[in-house]
């Protein structure tokens, strides 16, 4: 990254991430207009950090990107941000006031996602994701009250679990195990077996998706903001379809680029709560 970044339009980052997260563009329509630019900027920063944590295969480029963001957060707090996303976020009254340690906790949490140990069970796997999503949610709630940090963090950790399952081959290739070990043992699958289609692989995936459905079942996402609420609604729909399918992986992958009508309703409800603040 370089100093020319400040000349890149904010909309280009929105377009980049809307392609990968279809709920993003939908949710922005339900954010109060005065907050929209800063809300979009924060979401895009989150996606950039996520991409470095999960989407960049090579360790050195990922580390360089995360280190750059740590330095950029420091520059933002000093009033000398270079990135258009941090420029937009600095317009929020609390954008610069949030302690630097909170921004750096996000980077630390992202580094923790690189080459993680396999998780023994569902709770451990989701707790691992929470190392990133708890500090990220705390920032979002601080910048955009009255959003609830605990709810945002739960939604984001669940959503990451869904996305990791959908990109199973990529996760395994990059050294991550997106299913817990106890579930693999139940289906008599070794880690290497999970990469190859089989009845046992499909059964393990269906069981995992049912676990995630249960995690969402008791979660009211209206306090998490339009973006997380829309994503949670879409994930529920994706999980319901995939968990019942003969080929759950194919159905889950197909669903990641689509949104159900119910996602609009969820974003609207969350947006109403947001607007009343």
Q: pLDDT tens, 48-74?
A: 999 999 999 999 999 999 999 999 999
Ranges under pLDDT 50 in the chain: none
Give me the pLDDT at residue 7, please: 54
Give me the pLDDT at residue 8, please: 61
Q: pLDDT tens, 242-266?
A: 999 999 999 999 999 999 999 999 9
Residue 141: other Cβ atoms inside 10 A: 20
Give me the pLDDT at residue 1, please: 54
Give me the pLDDT at residue 12, please: 87
- The whole-model pTM stands at 0.93
The answer to whether residues 121 and 178 touch, using CB atoms and an 8 Å cutoff, is no
CA distances (Å), origin 88, targets 41, 47, 103, 232 = 6, 15, 16, 26
DSSP label at residue 119? P
CA distance 255 to 242: 8
Return the HEC string of the chain. CCHHHHHCCHHHHHHHHHHHCHHHHHHHCCCCHHHHHHHHHHHHHHHHHHHHHHHCCCHHHHHHHHHHHHHHHHHHHCCCCCCHHHHHHCCCCCCCCCCHHHHHHHHHHHHCCCCCCCCCCHHHHHHHHHHHHHHHHHHHHHHCCCCCHHHHHHHHHHHHHHHHHHCHHHHHHCCCCCCCHHHHHHCCCCHHHHHCCCHHHHHHHHHHHHHHHHHHHCCCHHHHHHHHHHHHHHHHHHHHHHHCCCCHHHHHHHHCCCCCHHHHHHHHHHHHHHHCC
Length in residues, the chain = 277
The C-alpha angle 210, 214, 219, rounded to 5 degrees, equals 145
Give me the pLDDT at residue 260, please: 95
The two three-digit tokens of residue 5, written as one number: 């970044």
Give me the pLDDT at residue 149, please: 97
Give me the pLDDT at residue 98, please: 85
Please give the domain boundaries of the chain with CATH numbers for all domains.
3-275 (1.10.600.10)
End-to-end Cα spacing for the chain: 36
Q: What element of type H or E holds 11?
A: helix 10-20
Give me the pLDDT at residue 19, please: 86
């Amino acid at each position: 990254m370089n100093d020319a970044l400040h000349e890149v339009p904010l909309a280009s980052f929105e377009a980049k991430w809307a392609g990968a997260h279809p709920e993003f563009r939908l949710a922005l329509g339900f954010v109060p207009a005065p907050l929209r630019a800063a809300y979009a900027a924060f979401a895009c920063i989150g996606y950039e950090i996520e991409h470095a944590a999960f989407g960049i295969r090579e360790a050195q480029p990922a580390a360089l990107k995360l280190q750059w963001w740590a330095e950029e957060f420091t520059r933002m707090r000093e009033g000398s941000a270079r990135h258009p996303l941090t420029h937009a976020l600095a317009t929020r009254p609390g954008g610069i006031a949030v302690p630097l340690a909170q921004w750096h906790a996000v980077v630390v949490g992202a580094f923790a996602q690189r080459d993680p140990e396999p998780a023994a069970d569902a709770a451990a796997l989701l707790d691992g994701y929470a190392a990133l999503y708890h500090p990220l949610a705390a920032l979002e709630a601080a910048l955009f009250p009255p959003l609830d940090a605990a709810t945002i963090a739960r939604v984001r950790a669940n959503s990451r679990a869904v996305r990791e399952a959908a990109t199973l081959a990529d996760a395994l290739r990059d050294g991550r195990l997106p299913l817990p070990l106890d579930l693999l043992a139940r289906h008599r699958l070794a880690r290497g077996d999970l990469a190859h289609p089989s009845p046992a692989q499909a059964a393990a995936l269906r069981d995992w998706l049912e676990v995630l459905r249960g995690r969402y079942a008791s979660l009211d996402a209206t306090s998490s903001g339009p973006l997380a609420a829309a994503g949670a609604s879409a994930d529920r729909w994706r999980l319901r379809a995939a968990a019942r399918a003969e080929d759950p992986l194919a159905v889950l992958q197909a669903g990641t680029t689509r949104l159900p009508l119910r996602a609009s309703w969820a974003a609207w409800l969350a947006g109403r709560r947001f607007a009343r603040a």
